[in-house]
Amino acid sequence: MLIDLTGKTALVTGSTQGIGLAIADRLADSGARVIVNGRTAERVDRAVADLRSTGADVAGITADVTTEAGVADLVREFPAVDILVNNLGIFGAVPAQEITDDQWRSMFEVNVLAAARLIRTYLPGMIGRGWGRAIQIASDSAVVIPVEMIHYGVSKTALLAVSRGFAKEAAGTGVTVNSVIAGPTHTGGVEDFVYQLVDRSLPWDEAQREFMRTHRPQSLIQRLIEPEEIADLVVYLSSPQASATTGGALRVDGGYVDSILP
């Protein structure tokens, strides 16, 4: 399948590393102009330089999209995008009865409200132009709530609802809104998380196997997913070929969720 996103502008939040950076790279490979976003100028500049070294058409902006002021700064610089990828998210292991109100609030504001705010900001322009894509990076934890981070799972469940609701808002306009349910993925942040749950003295390969065996035994591929595998589905959903896919929660979870439907 040849996917050509030439002439489209894509914004990927939280795209200076991990899944977000892989998505930015894959979208650029498909011809899109990509906007890299992060909260520190150093990381944004480094990611932009890395992507431009491959010949990609890339811009960058340092903006905290979890705040109204940060989104206002973003919109002043980039008032319209064709493809919005809400990748930014936080997670962390906290015993269920020790999750504070502030931790619940922070998880919701970063993982849910920031995405809703950006969809609300860019969706009218997409609808007016008769084409657009809004894609949220959710998690298997939205369906299989992890006991070690209930607040994270709840936030990702809410994100699925945000996507479904805005897909209805965009019905019949040529704009699609979808979620990607990502399974346990190999990123720097996840390496830190794994070592919160297994013996820190173990080499990474052994630590990963122990984590999957002990904490994610449902995985059918029995390994962590690579960020590029998530990015490939995002690129497809961003494409004209995915015009009939909307309101969906599509899984790249290694078969982790033991269900025919999400």
Number of residues written out for the chain: 262
Please tell me the predicted confidence (pLDDT) of residue 222. 87
**Domain 9-185+229-252 belongs to what topology?**
Rossmann fold (3.40.50)
Please tell me the predicted confidence (pLDDT) of residue 94. 95
Among residues 185, 152, 161, which one has the least CA distance to residue 253? 185
Q: Is the pTM of this model over 0.75?
A: yes
Please tell me the predicted confidence (pLDDT) of residue 262. 72
Please tell me the predicted confidence (pLDDT) of residue 137. 98
Catalytic choice (122, 152, 195, 236):
152
Please tell me the predicted confidence (pLDDT) of residue 65. 97
pLDDT in tens, 79-132: 999 999 999 999 988 999 999 999 999 999 999 999 999 999 999 999 999 999
Each domain of the chain, given as residue ranges in start order, spans 9-185+229-252, 190-224
Cβ pair 249, 183 in contact under 8 A:
no
Please tell me the predicted confidence (pLDDT) of residue 188. 81
Residues of the chain falling short of pLDDT 50: none
3-state per-residue secondary structure call for the chain:
CCCCCCCCEEEECCCCCHHHHHHHHHHHHCCCEEEEEECCHHHHHHHHHHHHCCCCCEEEEECCCCCHHHHHHHHHHCCCCCEEEECCCCCCCCCHHHCCHHHHHHHHHHHHHHHHHHHHHHHHHHHHHCCEEEEEEEEHHHCCCCHHHHHHHHHHHHHHHHHHHHHHHCCCCCEEEEEEEECCECCHHHHHHHHHHCCCCCCHHHHHHHHHHHHCCCCCCCCCECHHHHHHHHHHHCCHHHCCCCCCEEEECCCCCCCCCC
Please tell me the predicted confidence (pLDDT) of residue 146. 92
- Based on the residue annotation, tell me whether 195 is a catalytic residue of this protein: no
